């Protein structure tokens, strides 16, 4: 069984008056018990009708992560025979617009999931079918034969999906996670993973939070939510650290 020694960072939020703060350690991880979980790695601003939903500065950072982090990461993971699992928004015909989730998407984010989460190659009896508006995954990080693809219809990749069954059948115990956005779908998915007994490791340089307009230049929310994840859900690492550990696995 191949194992890697992965450098990780977590946060000690105690004692209250003088927290110990960021802490580094090396974590032994069995490759046969690991999977790469990619959350919502589609380009939400792909089509003209969706471009206004995404801040331009944020979108530029998104593309840098796709090209410089995710593309080489996914290639290396596939070569190591570690499962690659995509968890992506979808619009099953369950009257999402009438749900509390659908209401929030419309009121706070400004889009209709039954339109924006349409897919072209789906059964129209089961899913809202049509030309994709948001759900376009760039070719350099798109799913390939042998990968896994799970459709979700709320923030968590586990809620009413087949993800937990897939992970148990694969014998996965540790989830290496990347994707978007860190303070919403990534956060809820990581939380549900921990609640189900999985160990989670976030690639902190391969994610972004949904930044406030006045903070997008500093990506302050990304830094805050990364610290919070390191405090309550699990450690983080970086793509170069993971690739180096993978190359040196024994």
Q: What is the pLDDT of residue 52?
A: 79
Q: What is the pLDDT of residue 113?
A: 94
Which is nearest to 249 in space by CA: 77, 85, 36, 84?
77
Q: What is the pLDDT of residue 59?
A: 95
Query: What is the rounded average pLDDT for all residues in the chain?
Result: 96
Q: What is the pLDDT of residue 53?
A: 81
Q: What is the pLDDT of residue 250?
A: 84
- Residue spans per domain, the chain: 32-90+137-249, 93-134
Distance (Å) of CA 153 to CA 87, 93, 133? 10, 10, 16
CATH class of 32-90+137-249: alpha beta
Q: 89: which residues sit within 8 A by CB, 6+ positions away?
A: 40, 42, 113, 117, 134, 135, 151, 152, 153, 185
To which residue do tokens 């990780």 refer?
8
**Averaged pLDDT, 161-178:** 98
**Averaged pLDDT, 175-184:** 98
Cβ count within 10 A of residue 197 = 9
| Alpha-carbon span 124 to 138, nearest angstrom | 24
The pLDDT of residue 47 is above 90: no
Q: How many CA atoms lie within 13 A of 203 on its CB side?
A: 26
The pLDDT of residue 21 is above 90: yes
Q: In 213-234, which positions are buried (b, 16+ CB within 10 angstroms) versus exposed (e)?
A: eeebeebebbeebbbebbbebb
The model's confidence at residue 95, banded by pLDDT at 50, 70 and 90, is very high
**What is the H or E stretch that residue 27 is in?**
strand 21-30
CA 249 to chain centre: 24
Summarised one tens digit per residue, pLDDT across range 188-202 is 999 999 999 999 999
């Amino acid at each position: 069984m191949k194992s890697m020694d992965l450098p990780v960072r977590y946060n000690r939020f105690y004692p209250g008056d003088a927290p110990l703060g960021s802490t580094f350690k090396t974590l032994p991880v069995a490759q046969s018990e690991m999977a790469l979980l990619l959350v919502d790695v589609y380009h939400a601003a792909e089509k003209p009708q969706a471009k206004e939903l995404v801040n331009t500065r944020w979108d530029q950072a998104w593309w840098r992560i796709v090209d410089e982090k995710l593309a080489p990461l996914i290639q290396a993971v596939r070569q190591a025979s570690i499962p690659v699992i995509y968890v992506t928004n979808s619009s099953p015909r369950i009257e999402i617009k009438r749900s509390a989730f659908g209401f929030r998407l419309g009121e706070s984010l400004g889009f209709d999931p039954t339109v924006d989460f349409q897919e072209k190659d789906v059964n129209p009896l089961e899913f809202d079918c049509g030309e994709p508006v948001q759900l376009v995954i760039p070719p350099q990080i798109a799913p390939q034969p042998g990968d896994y693809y799970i459709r979700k219809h709320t923030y968590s990749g586990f809620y009413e999906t087949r993800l937990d069954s897939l992970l148990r059948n694969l014998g996965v115990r540790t989830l290496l996670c990347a994707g978007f956005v860190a303070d919403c779908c990534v956060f809820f998915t990581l939380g549900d993973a921990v609640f189900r007994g999985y160990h989670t490791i976030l690639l902190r340089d391969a994610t972004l939070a949904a930044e406030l307009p006045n903070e997008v230049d500093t990506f302050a929310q990304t830094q805050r939510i990364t610290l919070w994840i390191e405090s309550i859900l699990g450690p983080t690492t970086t793509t170069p650290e993971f690739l180096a550990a993978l190359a040196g696995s024994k």
